[in-house]
Every structure is written in C-alpha cells, then in structure tokens.
C-alpha cells in the first residue's frame, strides 16, 4: 500500500488542478457542529438520499420543497407516528415522488431516530460521539437499524451531512484494489475492516480527513 503522498502524486498526474478540484467537495463538520444539527435535518437528509437512490437526483432536488411540506418538516416525533391514512395521503401527493416503499422507509427512519434520541439525547450527539475510525461500524448500524440506509445510501447520508465519511465509489474501490487493500468490492467483515484500516492509516499519516482521502483515491484512478 502506497503512502498517501504517493497516492496524491498519482492523482496530481491525472489532475494537475487537484487542489482546486478538492475544494469543490464537502468539508467535514466539527463534532460540535454535527451535535448541533436538529433531528429533523437528519431525517430530511436520510429521506433525500433514499429517494435519490436509483433515481435522477435533480428531480428530487427540484421537488424538495414539496417533500418538506408533505412530511411536516421531517419532525421525527411526528413522522414516526404516521398512520395508514398518512401513507395513503403521501402516495397520492404529487408534490413528492410517490414511492410507497421509500415513504415507509422515511417513517421507519423517523422511528429509528427517535430510538436513538431516547438513548443519546439527539441524533447529532450520537453521530458526533461515534469515532471516525469506525465508519464501517456506523454504516452497519444505519444498515441494520435504519431502513434502506445500507450501502452507498448510508455513505451519502454521512458525507452530505458533514460527517467525515469516505465513499466507496467504483473509482475508490479500484484504487483500494490497486493498493492491495482488497481484491474486489468489499462485502465481507474482513474486507470492510481492511478498508477501514487503510483509511485510518492514511488519515493518521497525512492528517487529512477521510472525505478528502476518499476523493483523492478516486482521482488517482483517472
């Protein structure tokens, strides 16, 4: 496995304007900033990424004000208690994309957030306290306790909400294979642990956030 500086040199070889390109990507929030994010914004972020999965993102973006109104501002305490009548209302609401399974996922994720709030005080506090060197464990939690938050969707929730997350895109996986970290898309516990170990190593070595390391790996492919 190369040093992060060597990976960065590969990326610079493909993209001489690497530093400018990296500025376009999300900077992770501080723990205090994550802690301060209201619970409704976490449910909104989860919902947006769930509805964008397998769909045209810009369509969801264009309808987002409608989503906010239809889901009562994504208040988890309210959405988590939606009735069958509320589900029927949403399925016929033209302000949103009317996907029954994803509507149900939003309700289930509201319930998950409420469970976390009962134990940790807020969902932001829970995420702020989760160690950055165990993103794989956090992804497993979201995948098991949440609805439709496994795989890339959970990674996007973390990244776009400001948690310091890597994204296992095709290019990042290709870079990890090139570096000998894994030999294919990681699905086993052993392979996922190897990915986490690699990011932990590069983060300690470089002092850079996982999000930036992830993007640099992707750009080292081409």
Global pTM?
0.94
**31-161 CATH choice from 3.40.50.1370, 1.10.340.30, 3.40.605.10, 1.10.290.10:** 1.10.340.30
Alpha helices (H) along the chain: 4-14, 18-22, 31-36, 39-52, 57-62, 64-70, 76-79, 84-91, 100-120, 123-129, 135-145, 151-161, 170-178, 189-206, 210-219
Count CB atoms within 10 A of the CB of residue 71: 25
Task: For CATH 1.10.340.30, list the domain ranges present in the chain.
Answer: 31-161
Query: In the structure encoding, which two tokens stand for residue 124, read together?
Result: 């932001």
Question: What pLDDT, in 10s, does the model give residues 11-37?
Answer: 999 999 999 888 877 689 999 999 999
- 210-219 vs 4-14: helix crossing angle, rounded to 10: 50
Question: What pLDDT, in 10s, does the model give residues 119-132?
Answer: 999 999 999 999 99
């Amino acid at each position: 496995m190369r040093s992060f500086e060597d990976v960065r040199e590969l990326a610079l070889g493909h993209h001489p304007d690497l530093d400018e390109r990296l500025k376009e990507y999300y900077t992770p929030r501080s723990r205090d900033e994550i802690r301060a994010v209201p619970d409704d914004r976490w449910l909104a972020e989860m919902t947006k990424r769930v509805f964008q999965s397998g769909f045209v993102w810009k369509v969801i973006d264009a309808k987002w004000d409608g989503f906010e109104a239809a889901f009562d501002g994504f208040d988890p305490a309210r959405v988590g208690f939606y009735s069958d009548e509320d589900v029927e209302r949403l399925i016929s609401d033209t302000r949103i994309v009317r996907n029954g399974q994803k509507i149900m996922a939003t309700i289930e994720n509201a319930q998950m957030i409420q469970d976390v709030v009962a134990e940790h005080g807020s969902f932001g506090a829970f995420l702020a306290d989760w160690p950055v060197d165990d993103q794989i464990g956090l992804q497993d939690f979201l995948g098991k306790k949440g609805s439709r938050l496994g795989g890339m969707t959970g990674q996007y929730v973390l990244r776009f909400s400001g948690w310091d997350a890597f994204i296992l895109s095709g290019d990042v996986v290709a870079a990890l294979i090139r570096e000998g970290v894994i030999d294919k898309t990681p699905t086993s516990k052993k392979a996922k642990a190897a990915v986490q170990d690699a990011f932990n190593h590069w983060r300690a070595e470089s002092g850079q956030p996982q999000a930036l390391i992830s993007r640099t790996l992707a750009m080292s492919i081409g």
